[in-house]
Amino acid sequence: MVAGEAVMTVALADSLFLSISPDAARGKVILFLALSLTPFAVVAPFIGPLVDRMKGGRRLVVILAAALRALVSFLMIGRIDSLTLFPLAFAALVLSKTYAVSKSALVPTVVPAERELVDANSKLGLLSGVVGFAAVLPAALVQLVSPHVTLVISVVVFVAAVLSAWHLPRDVRIATSPRSRVEIEELRSRRVRRAVAAMRLMRGLVGLMFFHLAFWLRDQKAGTVWFGFAVSLASIATMVANAAAPIVRRRLREETMIIVALGAVGVGGFVCTWVGGVTGGVILAATVNAFAATCKLAYEAVVQSDAPDANRARAFASFETQFQLAWVGAGLIPVVLRLPGELGFFVVGLVGCVGMLLFVLRMRAARQSRGVRARDRARQPRRA
């Protein structure tokens, strides 16, 4: 799936999707981003639980997502310079996010031990980055011949993804019963809610930076080339973060990792505002993606340790849906508002620093609350 997405992205590099004027593109992007919220905001709360209780339900979703991606890529052939490319491109976006949600649900079901979950997600992220980066190189060479040929390759890759998904476990149910009271309480604990809120914020910043650069760089010299370079560098930064995060986690607590991630994005936003220009944008995109990957591993570790009675697959699928909503919702901001480059960087820095401050304050409030309860229990007279 990752390789197919990378190849399709290269195929669209010289298409009407990226070459149409920014003013004409904004309206279409707003419309289709709004439409892409529908599967997560409306369908997921109702269809998701049903799919989770079906044998092989999430496996079926992955197979359908890969098959539909192959169909979408096939339909794009011959429509590179047609306005019909827009609904096809955003259908691909929705299918990509749908796959991400199902993947988050499936990974915990195939990991033998809970303590291996973070390492498994780290390795999966690293492998995805390597595969995506490796797929870009031959696709770029084929693109010199014709983008239509590149799309044909993406069809072949997605068909291969269908065949690969067919071998996923058939008998796995993500959830066999409704959530228990204990599971609900664990997933609503202060520590879990703080980690989820931080991850939601980071995923939103990733979406904001992606669309901010996509439109802002359009007005810059060689903007399409720079955008492609920014996406590639962000992928490399994510790979490095996924490789380093498990090592960092052995030395730092999860909350510390989240604080560092939010703080680094905040400082990075302000520094890149000062640096300015295309260089600042490219560096900030890599910074945001790298520390979002670090924050993701920390959040997974918090859920894993603080909600031992929760169904991990169901919980991660639910949280991933929230994160995808944040990605799309934040992505709408630079599409609706025409932000200058440096102003967008400043917003990222400000949000990162405010997020870190709120996270620290909520941690301190939780500690004080625990301390008060402990003192109250100590003052209570002991029964004979």
| pLDDT tens-place string over residues 333-359 | 887 888 888 899 999 999 999 999 999
277: left (phi over 0), alpha (psi -120 to 50) or beta: left
Dump pLDDT digits (tens) for 240-268: 888 887 788 778 888 999 999 999 999 99
Long-range CB pairs of 13-21, under 8 A, 24+ apart, other chains included = 13/143, 13/147, 13/224, 13/228, 14/80, 14/143, 14/147, 14/224, 15/80, 15/81, 15/85, 15/147, 16/80, 16/81, 16/82, 16/83, 16/85, 17/85, 17/86, 17/89, 18/218, 18/224, 18/227, 19/224
Note the pTM of the prediction, 2 decimals. 0.78
Range with lowest mean pLDDT among 150-154, 305-309, 370-374: 370-374
- Of the ranges 96-110, 144-158, 196-210, 358-372, which one carries the lowest mean pLDDT score? 96-110
Per-residue pLDDT band for 138 (boundaries 50, 70, 90) equals confident
Domain ranges of the chain: 1-169, 182-378
Q: Note the pLDDT of residue 11.
A: 60
Alpha-carbon distance of 242 to 118, in angstroms, equals 10
Average pLDDT of the chain to the nearest whole number: 78
Task: Give, in words, the CATH class of 182-378.
Answer: mainly alpha
Residue 37's pLDDT band, with cuts at 50, 70 and 90, is: low
Model pLDDT, residue 352: 95
pLDDT at 1 > cutoff 80:
no
